[in-house]
Amino acid sequence: MNGKTEATLKAETESDYAALKDDIAMLRGDLKSIIEDVRGLAKVKAQDGLEKGKDLADKAGTQFKETRSEVESQIRDNPLAAVGIAFGAGLILAMLRGK
């Protein structure tokens, strides 16, 4: 047995086992830390996405209000043209639908 006694081999095995347990404990700690970091990053990214979505919704709402106001103004300025355009659009849609 390479000149090692049973007691020496047992002591080395126990030492290796203890070192392995310590390494596993350290890896668990590292893994927990990584998971917490990823979780935090995901929360930050989700919050950023939510804020961007809110900004886009606000911009779309503002644009809609401006366009609506502009269309209403055009209708007030040219009521006969607006009626003619609406009639023409309705006629075209009716023809496309086959009615």
Average pLDDT over residues 67-88: 92
Output the pLDDT for position 32.
96
Q: Mean of the per-residue pLDDT values for the chain?
A: 92
Q: How confident is the model at residue 98 (pLDDT cuts 50, 70, 90)?
A: confident
Query: What is the gyration radius of the CA atoms in the chain, in angstroms?
Result: 37
Average pLDDT over residues 14-40: 96
pLDDT over 60 (residue 14): yes
Instruction: State the pTM of this model.
Output: 0.50
Per-domain residue ranges of the chain: 6-97
Q: Show the beta-strand stretches assigned E in the chain.
A: none
